[in-house]
Amino acid sequence: MDEIVVIEEENPLEMAHWQGVLPRAFPDARSHFVNNAADAIRAAPAAGAVIAKAHSVPAGMAHAAPHLRWIQALTTGVDHLLEIGVPKSVVVTNARGAHGPQMSELAFFYMLSFARDVRQVLADQEAGRWHRRGQRVLLDKNVLIVGIGAIAESLAARCAAFGMNVVGISDSRHQVPHFAEVHPRSALIGQVAKADFIVVLVPYGPGTHHMIDAAVFAAMKPDAIFINIARGKVVDQDAMIAALEARRIGGAGLDVFTEEPLPQTSALWRLDNVMITPRIGGMSDSYAPQLTPLVSANIARYLAGDLDGLENRVTL
């Protein structure tokens, strides 16, 4: 029987979870657990399936695994697998829909931090300064969500609970729960002009490269907050920096960038109207348990030979 190779190089607790759950759930399967690229390559010749965050699958592994039939990405994005040349014959599934809670909470972290001016609050606290100021609330604010998938649905539900007006941009969906309106991409400029918060959630591809460009930033309100928790290359980063430096928009909460890690030379580090997080949007202290139902169901299908029935199939 081909081995199921599980790669987890970032979080020992997540590795321990998979080591505890999978052998118990699938005692007849041969599972091999590795925590680095070198061991993954060594395990490749026996691998029929790989379970890993997409970016943890090392270049060359697919070609070193002649029996490889399936990769279960523990991430939504799988662009790395395309970059390393995974053969078309390998079925790829992703973790689409599992990241709603943590991604939504990160968006709210940015929105509340800017609305309540948390940077100044902490500066006042550090200085022992009692400085009362007006407070901006999220109630009745307009949030524009660019790209409507499972994460956007999760975010929209939370925005609605805060009394926000939720508008979406999508060419493929027209009526979605918790969205007051949904408009096509051709309406992006007009809808951006009305938004207090803009949250980008579109996947990256040729059709979304620099989708958020200088014209989009020029259309934003001067106090609008721009949030990107999707992919860095969806945004024209130079145009964004120019808008932030000129204070043509209120600020930006950024978890993704054109180049990662974000170089120390980037002007973004020095701007006081920017909040930077280091690609943590999909992270969660319960990440592996969140993914266990999906992974377990797909392993059961794989072991039964039902590759066509694997959930969350994606095309590279």
The pLDDT of residue 77 is: 86
DSSP secondary structure letter of residue 203: P
The pLDDT of residue 316 is: 83
Residue 14 has pLDDT above 70, yes or no: yes
Same domain, 155 and 28: no
Q: Give the pTM.
A: 0.89
Bridge-based pairing of strands 181-183 and 165-169 is: parallel
Give the span between the Cα atoms of 256 and 229, in whole angstroms. Answer: 6
Same domain, 237 and 299: no
- Mean pLDDT for the stretch of residues 66-76: 96
Same domain, 44 and 174: no
- E strands along the chain, which residues? 3-7, 31-34, 47-52, 70-73, 91-93, 142-146, 165-169, 181-183, 197-200, 225-228, 251-254, 274-276, 313-314
CB atoms within 10 A of CB 269: 11
CATH of the domain at 147: 3.40.50.720
CB atoms within 10 A of CB 159: 26
Among candidate residues 56, 64, 79, the one with its CA nearest the CA of residue 8: 56
Q: Kindly report whether the peptide bond that precedes residue 222 is cis, defined as omega within 30 degrees of 0.
A: no
The pLDDT of residue 162 is: 98
The pLDDT of residue 205 is: 87
SS3 assignment, position 140: coil
Q: Is 305 left (phi over 0), alpha (psi -120 to 50) or beta?
A: left
Domain extent for 19: 3-96+285-314
* Confidence band, pLDDT 50/70/90 cuts, at residue 152: very high
Same domain, 92 and 119: no
Bridge-based pairing of strands 197-200 and 142-146 is: parallel
- Mean pLDDT for the stretch of residues 57-72: 95
Percentage of the chain beyond pLDDT 90 is: 96
Same domain, 120 and 211: yes
If you average pLDDT over every residue of the chain, what do you get?
A: 96
Same domain, 85 and 109: no
Give the span between the Cα atoms of 145 and 165, in whole angstroms. Answer: 11
Residue 103 has pLDDT above 90, yes or no: yes
Same domain, 53 and 151: no
The pLDDT of residue 102 is: 97
Structure confidence by residue, pLDDT tens digits, 182-241? 999 999 999 999 999 999 999 888 999 999 999 999 999 999 999 999 999 999 999 999
Residue 41 has pLDDT above 80, yes or no: yes
Same domain, 150 and 122: yes
Bridge partners for 198 per DSSP: 144, 226
What length is written for the chain? 316
Q: Alpha carbon of 255 to those of 107, 298, 313: distances in Å?
A: 10, 30, 26
- Mean pLDDT for the stretch of residues 109-131: 98
Same domain, 38 and 127: no
- Number of domains making up the chain: 2
Same domain, 86 and 10: yes
Structure confidence by residue, pLDDT tens digits, 247-258? 999 999 999 999
The pLDDT of residue 243 is: 98
The pLDDT of residue 213 is: 98
DSSP secondary structure letter of residue 66: T
Same domain, 211 and 136: yes
Bridge-based pairing of strands 31-34 and 47-52 is: unpaired
* Confidence band, pLDDT 50/70/90 cuts, at residue 1: low
In the chain the first and final C-alpha atoms are separated, in Å, by 27
Cβ proximity of 93 and 73 under 8 Å: yes
Same domain, 111 and 161: yes
Bridge partners for 228 per DSSP: 200, 254
- Mean pLDDT for the stretch of residues 162-166: 98
